[in-house]
Amino acid sequence: MNKILKWTGIVLSVPVIGVAGLVGWVSLSVSSRMNKTYQVPPVQFAVDVKADIAVGERIVQIRNGCVDCHGPDLAGKAVMDNGAMGRVYANNITPGALKDWSDGEVARAIRHGIGKKGQPLVLMPSHDYQYLSASDLASVVAYLRTVKAVAKENQSQKLGPIASMLLVTNKAPLLPAEKIEHTAAFHVKPPETVSVEFGQYLSDTACIGCHSPNLKGGPIPGGPPDWPPAKDLTQTGLGKWKEADFVKAMKEGINPQGEKIKAPMPTALTAKYSETEVKALWAYLQTVN
């Protein structure tokens, strides 16, 4: 009987040890990647780069929708907060928190997804923002210096078990700093006209984070399980959509079937896109197969 109990205990302990080992490996891997220090210097703008506060305000408040994650006062708020996915809070990006940051450090956080101490920022959509032109990036930094300072401490970040597994299996780009080519030159912003080129610039800087670089959509990387998949914006996905359908979807949040477009599509923000911006996006999407 004692031998039976002994071998039963050994057999039962094997999967327990295996699970414990897996949990330990995941924890160590996540900790290592989240605490990595990136040797990427603060952004240095050329002397001829001009910042326009009004342009920066439009990018933050409308075009790139920074308020969606950082809140209407830009003092930060919860992006995710549940046991499965974890606790991720967007940081306070008002002068109340950035007063000790240089312009180059703020720009590095936006463009490279890297914090003041060289650490990777969680879920910072720098995979979009890396395509901002130098002038647009400088404009964003200039605008952030003008907003009302809010004295609010940043919250700590902690990935839950599902988010941790997504990270270690590389199923979701939770740390965009890992994916970005940090030595790439700035992209050139085309004139803001109804053109394929300007439409692509808007798509690259504001759409690909959810709809993917090829715009074929699908599950949104890092999003909670209850989010609907991002729509396929290629000619295959849009199918028989007309320009008027696209304009209505962007401006009113209604698809061609008369259905309300669900979150997280930021229809409250796209409703404020200019006619030029919407039509430029449409022109570009007509070229994407």
Q: The CATH number of the domain where 281 resides is what?
A: 1.10.760
Q: pLDDT of 191-200, one tens digit each? A: 999 999 999 9
> How far apart are alpha carbons 21 and 16 in whole angstroms?
9
Q: How many domains does the chain have?
A: 2
Structural domain includes residue 21: no
Q: Is residue 120 part of a domain?
A: yes
Per-residue pLDDT tens for 228-267?
999 999 999 999 999 999 999 999 999 999 999 999 999 9
Rounded-to-integer distance, Cα 239 and Cα 247, Å: 15
Residues 202 and 148 both lie in one domain: no
Residue 270 belongs to a domain = yes
Q: Which two tokens stand for residue 152?
A: 């609010």
| Ranges of H-type helices in the chain | 2-34, 53-58, 66-70, 95-98, 103-112, 126-129, 134-144, 161-168, 196-206, 208-211, 235-238, 243-252, 267-270, 275-285
Task: Tell me which residue of 240, 233, 269, 238 sits closest to 253, measured CA to CA.
Answer: 269
Answer whether 0.85 is exceeded by the pTM: yes
In a domain, 277, yes or no: yes
Answer yes or no: do 58 and 172 share one domain. Answer: yes
Contact 73, 62 (CB under 8 A): no
* Domain of 97, in residue numbers: 53-178
Q: How confident is the model at residue 83 (pLDDT cuts 50, 70, 90)?
A: confident
Question: Two tokens at 200?
Answer: 């692509």
- By mean pLDDT, which of 28-32, 97-101, 120-124, 186-190 is the weakest? 28-32
Considering the domain boundaries, does residue 172 fall inside one? Answer: yes
- Domain check: are 151 and 67 in the same one? yes
How far apart, in whole angstroms, are the C-alpha atoms of residue 70 and residue 60?
Answer: 10
Please tell me whether residues 172 and 203 are part of one structural domain: no
Contact criterion met (CB below 8 Å) for 217 and 211: yes
Q: Are residues 70 and 101 in the same domain?
A: yes
Q: Which pLDDT score is estimated for 84?
A: 85
Sign of the CA dihedral with 44 first, then 48, 54, and 59 last: negative
pLDDT band, very low/low/confident/very high, at 19 (cuts 50, 70, 90): low
Residues 77 and 170 reside in one and the same domain: yes
Task: Clarify whether residues 131 and 212 are in a common domain.
Answer: no
pLDDT at 20 over 60: no
The answer to the question of residue 27 being in a domain is: no
* pLDDT score recorded for residue 227: 86
Residue 59 shares a structural domain with residue 168: yes
Q: Is residue 24 part of a domain?
A: no
26-48 mean pLDDT: 92
